[in-house]
Amino acid sequence: MADVAPLVRREVAIESATLYTEIGIRSFFRGMFQRRTMSGAEFTWQSLYRIEAGDVVFSNLMAWERGIALASLEDAGGTVANFVCGRS
């Protein structure tokens, strides 16, 4: 897998006054969606990672549900928590 989609984590330094759009992954290979937009002040324990078009994104929490998606141009710049990103 490392040859096809090496692990990439682009950590985001969360700033309290900045708005972040979270990206979610649908189960069973059904793609990604924009989950919500929140201010940095609302994040308490999460680490956020920026995604780019072409990233293969895997859910850490629901891997058994096949939460895997390929990020599109409209997903680029969004952020994810509890996911693993790999470049395609």
For residues 68 and 5, give the distance between their C-alpha atoms in angstroms, rounded to a whole number: 12
Strand partners, 69: 57
CA 19 – CA 8 distance, rounded (Å): 23
d(CA 15, CA 36): 17
Question: pLDDT category, 87, cuts 50, 70, 90?
Answer: low
pLDDT of 30 > 80? The answer is no
pLDDT digits (tens, 9 = 90+) for 4-13: 667 778 888 8
pTM of the model: 0.71
